[in-house]
Amino acid sequence: MTFDFSLIFSSIPKLLSGLGLTLELLILSSFIGLVLAVFTLLMRISGRWFLMAPAVAYIYIFRGTPILVQIFVIYYGLPQFEFIRTGVLWPILREPFWCCVIALSLNAGAYVSEILRGGVLGVDKGVLEAASALGISKSQRFIYITSPIAIRLSLPAYCNDTISMTKATALASTVTLLEMTGVARTIVAQTFSPYEIFISVAIIYMVMAWMLQKGFGLLEIRMSRYLKATAG
C-alpha cells in the first residue's frame, strides 16, 4: 500500500469545514452540561434523600451507558412514540444536532457533577471550621469559601473530561451530522483512502486536545496563585 502524504495536506482544509459544527457541539454541550452538573451536585450533597436519590440515579444511568447508545435512544428511540412526534418538543428532537447536544450534555452533566463533588469533598475541613467560627453562614461558606477551592481542585479532572467530550462529538457523525468525523467519513467513502483521511482528522483532534490542555494548564496556574505566594 502506498501512503499519500499530499492527500493529508489537501484533505485538512475540507475536514476543517466540519470544525465549526464540532466546536458548536462541544461548547453548547459543555455549557449545558456544566449547568446540569452544578444542579446535580447541589442535589447530591444536599443531605436530603428526595433530592439525592434522583441525582444518584441520573449519574448512574448516564455514566453506566455508552454515549453512542444514548444518542441512538434519543435520536431513533424517542420518535417511535406518537406523543413525541406530535409533542411540543418535536421541533427540537427532530433535529439531529439537538439530539446530540442533549445526549452529550446529559452525559457531561453526570460526569462533571461527580468531578465537582470530588472537589467539594477535597476542601480542607479546617478552613470551613474557621469560617463557621467567624460566624459566616452556611450558604456564604459554600459560595465564597468551598466553591473557589473546589473549582481549583476539580480543574485537572474537568480538563480531562472536556477533552473526552471533544472526542465524543465524533459520534454525531452517526446521525447524519457533518462535523469533522462526518466529513472525514464522507471523504473516505469517496476516495477509498481511510489511512490518510483518518490520520488527518486525528491530527486536528490532537491539536484541539493540546490547546485545551494548555488553556486549562494556564487557568490552573492562575487559580493557584495564592499557593505560590505562601510557598514563597
Partner 1 sequence: MKYRKLKSVALVALSMTLFANSAQAETLRVGMECTYAPFNYRTADGELTGYDVDVAKGVSSLIGAEVEFVCQKYDGMIPALLANKFDLIVASMSITEKRRKKIDFSSPYRISVGRLVGKKNGNFNLFNADGSVNVDGFDGVKVGLERASTYENWFVAKVPDANILRYDNNEAMYLDLQNGRTDVIMTNPMKAFLKFLSKEDGAGYEFVSPAINETEYFGVGVGIGLRKGNDELLGRINTALKQLTNDGSLEKYALKIFPFAIHPDKWVDLNY
Query: Under the criterion CB under 8 A, does residue 96 sit at the interface with partner 1?
Result: yes
The residue within the footprint of partner 1, chosen from 186, 209, 219, 223 (CB under 8 A), is 186
Report how far residue 189's alpha carbon sits from residue 184's, in angstroms, rounded to the nearest whole number: 9
Length of the chain: 232
Choose the stretch contacting partner 1; rule: CB under 8 A; options: 48-56, 60-68, 120-128, 170-178: 170-178
The residue within the footprint of partner 1, chosen from 52, 79, 131, 163 (CB under 8 A), is 79
Q: Report the first-to-last Cα separation within the chain, whole angstroms.
A: 59
The residue within the footprint of partner 1, chosen from 44, 117, 152, 185 (CB under 8 A), is 185
Query: Under the criterion CB under 8 A, does residue 190 sit at the interface with partner 1?
Result: yes
Is residue 141 a contact partner of residue 105, using CB atoms and an 8 Å limit?
no
Closer to partner 1 at the Cβ: 152 or 185? Answer: 185
Min dist CB 79 to partner 1, Å, is: 4
Is residue 179 a contact partner of residue 170, using CB atoms and an 8 Å limit?
yes
Which runs of consecutive H residues, i.e. helices, occur in the chain?
A: 5-16, 19-44, 49-63, 67-72, 82-86, 90-93, 96-122, 125-133, 138-140, 147-168, 180-191, 194-223, 225-231
Query: Under the criterion CB under 8 A, does residue 88 sit at the interface with partner 1?
Result: no
HSE-CB at 192 with a 13 A cutoff on CA atoms is 2
Residues 6+ away with beta carbon under 8 Å from 21: 97, 172, 177, 178, 179, 180, 182
Closer to partner 1 at the Cβ: 112 or 177? Answer: 177
Q: Cell for 28?
A: 453548547
Query: Under the criterion CB under 8 A, does residue 94 sit at the interface with partner 1?
Result: yes
Min dist CB 97 to partner 1, Å, is: 11
Q: Which of residues 102-161 bind partner 1 (CB under 8 A)?
A: none
Choose the stretch contacting partner 1; rule: CB under 8 A; options: 29-37, 113-121, 150-158, 182-190: 182-190
What residues make contact with partner 1 under the rule CB under 8 A?
Answer: 76, 79, 85, 94-96, 174, 176, 178, 182, 185-186, 189-190
